[in-house]
Amino acid sequence: MVRLGVLDVGSNTVHLQVVDAYSGARPNPRTNLKIDLRLSEFISPDGLIDSEGVKQLRSAIRACVTEARKVKSEELLPFATSALREARNGDEIIAALNSEFEIDLQVLSGEEEAQITFLAARRWYGWSSGRLLMVDIGGGSLELAAGVNESAEIAISLPLGAARVTKSHLEGDPFTRKSIRALRDYIESQLSEVLPAMLEHQNTDRAIATSKTLRTLARLTGDWAEGDGRSLELEGLRKILPKLSEMSQEERSELPGVSKSRAGQIVAGAYVAESVMRSLDIETLEICPWALREGIVLKWLDWIKQ
């Protein structure tokens, strides 16, 4: 057995998950430390993460590294996704963090992110689940993957993360109808570029959702549209979208399962989810408990077996 600390530097949060793991067994969670940072909000129009963002990121990394050492993690697996991947000064920031904290923070490409998340879903559902289609809506990007093996046949990343498109398109509180229309047009234009490739893999046995955004939407449809809370139905999502869009941020933050920090971006996430499900003819997305962090653990275990 080995105790692993998985350090996820995302667009919304810096999240340390510590697990006890060994080859052939399910990773056993030990502790979590989650810091709401909203790194994407510190990216200036010229694509640079500003000094305040760097300061808060350093503080979050320090807290996570300290916690990992406190619980005696034997290996730390740090990785970053879209915010640091796309920031013009991302390489410089990562080099400084690696030097200061003696870690090896690696940036995942969008395709790697999709592939590793798909691996986690495949291991969770097993071979008997047949062909899988995986959907993950993060803060900075949307990942789609499909296939019958542990490696997806197609893995795509698009700039349709809930935090990103909220920042770039939505205005007002509640959001204006004009900005919502602009958002929907943008989502459709982005999806149209990959739909031909995705539709080749549309004949799936199970459609899987892996992100916090989609879990939250499943819970809301369970509360408002007679869903079960464990899956996201397209019909239920369409029922709650008008109500969700008309609420203020404060009203959304009072909903069950919607944190104050997530309340601003859940509307954008819902429109991305609706567009993906409608475009790919998905009636139901099953919520998978495992996602990218679990995939990182599984991939590391596979690597040390070699």
Q: Per-domain residue ranges for the chain? A: 2-107, 124-287
In this chain, the answer to whether the domains covering 2-107 and 124-287 adopt an identical fold is yes
Which H or E run includes 201?
A: none
Checking DSSP bridges between strand 28-36 and strand 13-21, what pairing results, if any?
antiparallel
Q: What is the pLDDT of residue 298?
A: 96
Tens digits of residue pLDDT in 136-170: 999 999 999 999 999 999 999 999 999 999 999 99
Q: pLDDT band at residue 261, thresholds of 50, 70 and 90?
A: confident
Assigned token pair, 194? 């990959």
The region of weakest confidence among 42-51, 80-89, 135-144, 199-208 is 199-208
User: Of 161, 24, 135, which is closest to residue 81 (Cα–Cα)?
Assistant: 161
73 pLDDT higher than 70: yes
Compute φ and ψ for 302, nearest 5 degrees.
Answer: -60, -40
d(CA 290, CA 233): 20
User: What pLDDT shows up at residue 257?
Assistant: 85
Residue percentage of the chain with pLDDT more than 90: 88
pLDDT at 207: 96
pLDDT tens per residue, range 76-119: 999 999 999 999 999 999 999 999 999 999 999 999 999 999 99
Query: What pLDDT band is residue 75 in, cutting at 50, 70 and 90?
Result: very high
The dihedrals phi and psi of 300, each to the nearest 5 degrees, come to -65, -40
CATH 3.40.50.300 fits 2-107, yes or no: no
Domain 124-287 sits in CATH 3.40.50.920:
no
Q: Residue 232 in contact with residue 240, Cβ under 8 Å?
A: no
Cα–Cα distance measured from residue 159 to residue 181, given in angstroms and rounded to the nearest whole number: 18
pLDDT given for residue 306 in this prediction: 61
Q: Is the pLDDT of residue 177 over 90?
A: yes
| 200, pLDDT greater than 90 | no
pLDDT single digits (tens) 278-300: 999 999 999 999 999 999 999 99
